[in-house]
Structure 1
Amino acid sequence: MPLACTLTVIDPRADWLARLPAARNLRTITHENPADLIPTLPANAFVLCMTKGHSTDRPVLQRALAERTFPYLGAIGSAAKATILRQELVAHGLTPERAAQFFCPIGEDFGSNHPHEIALSIAAQLLKLRDTLTPRLPGSVSSTAVS
């Protein structure tokens, strides 16, 4: 059973996006500055920032936190990276309270650093949150669209 969601991947590297497998619920967008597209995302989007590092994560997080409130906003990385990102966000004008409103590290803590297990832990966290946001009848299968 496929997940009832649409995955949109935004990246400046067209060659990298071309390597992703084709799927009905996968949309790719080549854009030099992914932060520019924050205003175009649906209000119910779960936003995950998985860029090349702090310098490319910060503008995406900055714009998302300054302009929008998403049900989920997260950046892949360690607790140390989260501290640095939050300091940079404050230095660029966000309040400390607003700069704290994103997940990092992302995913459920399974105690593993293996890439496949990290991916599963992130999916588990997103599904768990989706199901807390969408009340379900006992025994029903959730079909809420999450972008």
Structure 2
Amino acid sequence: MGSIIPATIILAVVLLIGAHVSSDIVEDKRECQDQLIALSPCLNYVSGDLKTPSPTCCTDLRQKYNSTERCLCLLVKDRNDPGLGIKINATLALSLPYICRAHANVSHCPGLLHLAPGSPDAQIFEDFARSPAASSSDADAGSGELHSGFKVESS
């Protein structure tokens, strides 16, 4: 089963790249291919199969977050794309940098992805940025704990 996950993420990234015709979107996905593969240890968590991310996931995320931030945003934005081939829970994916104590601010995602404020694609990031988990993350200095009452629609 362990070898299925990396193969699945590679296939998902390839399918994700081919799923859109816009040159900007295709370019974004090409740029993110290697970074998303590097985050494959986090796949079991962001798909909801694990209750907590693995130590390897968090270590990799902390070491690579600066180069993967935009790509993690892209993965969340395209979470419902049938070409992705895997189910991504947006709440779990957006909480991952906070849980792993990676320096993160998901409120930057709409800007990184050139999304119009208030647009349907930007909404998930805006909702998360207003959540207790996001607003308390700076004050907690990345305690890694999600606070009760946090809920973002993942569909």
TM class by shorter chain equals 0.3 to 0.5
Greater Rg, structure 1 or structure 2?
1
Q: Calculate the TM-score normalised by the size of structure 1.
A: 0.36
TM-score, normalised relative to structure 2: 0.35
Greater fraction of residues in strand: 1
More helix by share: 2
